[in-house]
């Protein structure tokens, strides 16, 4: 990997640009405004809002590697079932990109798929296109109970929206336990989400109400982001409920804050083979109550779980480790 072009279809996540500082960062359509993040990392993206002339500036004589950020399932498989102009645009852009790739000879092409739910992204393209162009996929939601093809890797750090998980992890700090208040902090939205394509219902409102009937949840109401993070750091526990997709930005805010994350059970596979302590993973409100009782009764267990959480964040979620993880997967060409 020498010269890298990052193509972010809708300016959805600048995380790869943060990791690969020398890469050129192209946006096909300006969906979000992230000037503070651009300023923080001292770069400006190359934006093409009106047409696809961006491909005139990207070819395999200039770049050996393409990193592409896009919700793939929306783009080619489900767009006819969702009457959204934005999805139609992504679909059209992706068709142009496929044509562009076929006309070039890139050494490495990687799609970073930020779609919310589980599927094998190889179904999106023709097999010949994937093998001919050495296509690899990094998936936001990689199901640890499923067997994928060998060119698919877990990478749960890319997400659409105004936040950037890779940026959030940069602010990892550990508040001394002596400063923490014994409370369970939650400040997420009580959303209800139904995905008709997958038939998945995520009812955060329901599980939150059930939890509140059994224990006190600390929710101070609206806070500025700076105060929100400060309150989280001061909280002994923070609640991470499943939302639209898994993980969500709340996951990374908790992990970077040094508050112990109490997480609703899912099949998410991280980019490492270790796992968070089973004592902090709960199935339902009753299970959560029992685990909180044990953590409170055994201070040593709380310390053990928090130390393990912090160890995983420091070891695997720092910028250097994430960049090297991507490079290692790209350099492994014995996949097909």
State pTM to two decimals.
0.92
Give the integer Cα–Cα distance in Å for 46 and 206.
Answer: 43
Q: What is the pLDDT of residues 152-169, one digit of tens each?
A: 999 999 987 778 999 999
Q: Does domain 173-316 have CATH number 3.40.50.2000?
A: yes
Lowest mean pLDDT among 58-62, 80-84, 141-145: 80-84
Q: How much is the average pLDDT of 82-101?
A: 77
pLDDT value of position 129: 93
Which one has a higher pLDDT value, 98 or 51?
A: 98
> How many other CB atoms sit within 10 Å of the CB of residue 164?
24
Residues 172 and 259: beta-carbon distance below 8 Å? no
Domain spanning 4-166+318-331, CATH class = alpha beta
Model confidence band, residue 74 (pLDDT cutoffs 50, 70, 90): low
Give the integer Cα–Cα distance in Å for 131 and 125.
Answer: 10
Question: Is 335's pLDDT higher than 70?
Answer: no
Quick one: angle between helices 285-297 and 204-212, nearest 10?
50
Q: What is the pLDDT of residues 184-214, one digit of tens each?
A: 999 778 888 777 766 777 888 899 999 999 9
Tell me if the bond preceding 299 is cis, omega within 30° of 0. no
Q: How much is the average pLDDT of 128-157?
A: 94
Q: How much is the average pLDDT of 255-265?
A: 95
Strands (DSSP E) along the chain, which ranges?
Answer: 4-8, 24-27, 46-47, 65-70, 108-113, 135-139, 152-154, 181-185, 192-195, 200-203, 235-240, 260-264, 281-282
Evaluated on CA atoms 217, 221, 226, 231, the torsion sign reads negative
List the domain boundaries for the chain.
Answer: 4-166+318-331, 173-316
Token pair 């999106």 is found at 124
Q: How much is the average pLDDT of 11-30?
A: 89
Question: Is 279's pLDDT higher than 90?
Answer: yes
pLDDT value of position 12: 80
| Residue 82 CA, distance from chain mean position | 23
Q: What is the pLDDT of residues 206-238, one digit of tens each?
A: 999 999 999 999 998 888 989 999 999 999 999
Same fold: 4-166+318-331 with 173-316: yes
Model confidence band, residue 79 (pLDDT cutoffs 50, 70, 90): very low
């Amino acid at each position: 990997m020498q010269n890298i072009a990052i193509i972010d279809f809708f300016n959805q996540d600048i995380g790869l640009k943060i990791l690969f500082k020398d890469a050129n960062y192209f946006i096909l359509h300006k969906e979000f405004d992230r000037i503070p993040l651009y300023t923080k990392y001292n770069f400006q993206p190359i934006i093409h809002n009106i047409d696809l002339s961006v491909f005139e500036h990207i070819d395999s004589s200039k770049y050996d590697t393409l990193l592409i950020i896009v919700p793939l399932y929306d783009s080619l498989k489900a767009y006819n079932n969702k009457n959204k102009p934005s999805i139609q645009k992504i679909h059209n852009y992706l068709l142009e990109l496929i044509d562009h790739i076929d006309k070039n000879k890139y050494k490495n092409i990687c799609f970073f798929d930020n779609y919310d739910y589980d599927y094998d992204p190889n179904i999106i393209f023709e097999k010949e296109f994937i093998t001919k162009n050495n296509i690899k996929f990094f998936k936001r939601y990689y199901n640890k109970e499923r067997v994928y093809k060998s060119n698919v890797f877990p990478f749960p750090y890319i997400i659409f929206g105004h936040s950037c998980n890779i940026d959030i992890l940069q602010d990892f700090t550990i508040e001394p336990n002596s400063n923490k208040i014994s409370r369970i902090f939650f400040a997420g939205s009580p959303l209800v989400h139904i995905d008709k394509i997958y038939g998945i219902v995520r009812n955060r409102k329901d599980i939150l109400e059930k939890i509140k009937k059994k224990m006190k949840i600390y929710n101070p109401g609206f806070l500025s982001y700076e105060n929100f993070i400060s309150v989280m750091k001061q909280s002994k526990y923070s609640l991470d409920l499943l939302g639209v997709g898994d993980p969500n930005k709340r996951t990374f805010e908790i992990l970077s804050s040094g508050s112990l994350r109490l997480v609703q059970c899912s099949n998410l596979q991280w980019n490492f083979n270790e796992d968070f302590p089973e004592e902090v993973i709960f199935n339902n409100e009753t299970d959560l109550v029992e685990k909180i009782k044990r953590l409170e009764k055994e201070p040593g267990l709380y310390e053990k779980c928090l130390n393990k959480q912090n160890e995983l964040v420091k070891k695997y979620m720092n910028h250097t480790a994430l960049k090297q993880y991507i490079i290692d997967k790209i350099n492994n060409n014995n996949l097909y």
